[in-house]
Every structure is written in structure tokens, then in C-alpha cells.
Amino acid sequence: MKEVSITSGANLMELYRNLAGDYPKFFKMDTLCKLGFLLTEMLVADDTDRFRQREDRAVLVFSREGSLADDCHYADSMADFPSPALFVYTLPNIISGEIAIRNKYAGETSAYVIDGFSRELIDGLVRQAFQDPVTESAVVVWADCPSDDKWDARGWLVKREDLA
């Protein structure tokens, strides 16, 4: 199992330039999505067939705050004119969708807002995703972002054989 993390306060733009640099949509993403995107880039950078359509990889995203920071930004924008660019990020599952779209994953994509980081709960839900016989691997992200400069971001690339 491969594990990566991004420390709170890291320069996400610099990390993006070093890891991807070819996905202009990154600049429109909120911090939570940027974290999930970058964790995934770190996890799958060595995949030789990286951008082929695949149904055997699941994406599971976990967070405590979900999209709360962007919910607040969006609420502030409603004083003048509600921002459609912010609205899209008021859904916690947008992060799993961004990962799946970028990497052409057609397997399970899920987003869970849970009380706090719980390895037992996360492991249980990951094992549940592997109940589908098509699933051979999963990108698993814990990205909790209460503000744009403070977060907890960890990711794992879990393969079926890791569960044995």
C-alpha cells in the first residue's frame, strides 16, 4: 500500500507545478479539491497506463468538515451575486468526481463526511468497496480543510492484495 501526505501550509501551486502542471482546471478548484487532486497525483504518478479508461479503480474520499469552508465563501458571495464558481465546490463529493474525471476512473466514487479521522471506519468502507469483484485498487483520500491555510491531507493507494 502506498501512502502520501501534504503538510498543512504547503505551497499547493508549487506542488502542482512539480506533479502535474498540465491541468488548467486546477486553478479553479477550491483548496479541498486541490488537496485531493495533488494526493492522487502523488499516488498514481508511477502508473504506466495512467490515463486509460478503467473500471477497476475506486475513489473514496473522507473528510470531517466536508465543503464547509466553501459553503461559507459561497454564503458570503450571496450578499452581492451568488458565485457559480464557488457553488460547485459546496458539494463534498466534487473532489471524488474531479479525481475520477482527471484519471478516467469509472469505478465506485464516494465521498463521506465523518466525525473525524477514524482508521477503523475508513478501512471498513474501503473493504466494502472491494466487495465489488471488479475493484482491484482504490485511491483513498482523507482531506479535511477547515480553512484555506490549515488542513489534514493524507492518501493511500490500496490494492486488493493489500487487504489479505
**pLDDT for res 90:** 57
Q: If pLDDT is split at 50, 70 and 90, which confidence band does 106 have? A: very high
Q: What are phi and psi of 136, to 5 degrees?
A: -110, -20
- Residue 34 C-alpha cell reads as 486541490
Q: Which residue has the higher pLDDT, 78 or 24?
A: 24
DSSP class per residue in 70-134? HHHHHHHHTTTS--HHHHGGGSTTHHHHHHHHHHTB-S-EEEEE-SS--HHHHHHHHHHHTTSTT
Structural domain range at position 46: 2-163
Number of domains in the chain: 1
Beta bridge partners of 156: 3, 140
**pLDDT cut 70: percent of the chain above it:** 84
Q: What is the CA radius of gyration of the chain?
A: 16
Which of 60, 45, 57 lies closest to 4 in space, CA to CA? 45
Q: Indicate the pTM of the whole model.
A: 0.88
Q: If pLDDT is split at 50, 70 and 90, which confidence band does 83 have? A: low
Which of 60, 12, 58, 59 lies closest to 38 in space, CA to CA? 12
**pLDDT for res 162:** 96
Signed CA dihedral, 104, 44, 64, 33: sign only: negative
Q: Which residue has the higher pLDDT, 96 or 67?
A: 96
Q: What is the mean pLDDT of residues 147-154?
A: 87
**pLDDT for res 11:** 95
pLDDT digits (tens, 9 = 90+) for 47-74: 988 899 999 999 999 998 766 555 555 5
Beta bridge partners of 144: 152
pLDDT digits (tens, 9 = 90+) for 15-25: 999 998 889 98
Query: What's 24's domain CATH number?
Result: 3.40.47.10
Whether 14 shows a pLDDT value over 90: the answer reads yes
Whether 89 shows a pLDDT value over 70: the answer reads no
Q: Are 93 and 60 in contact (CB under 8 A)?
A: no
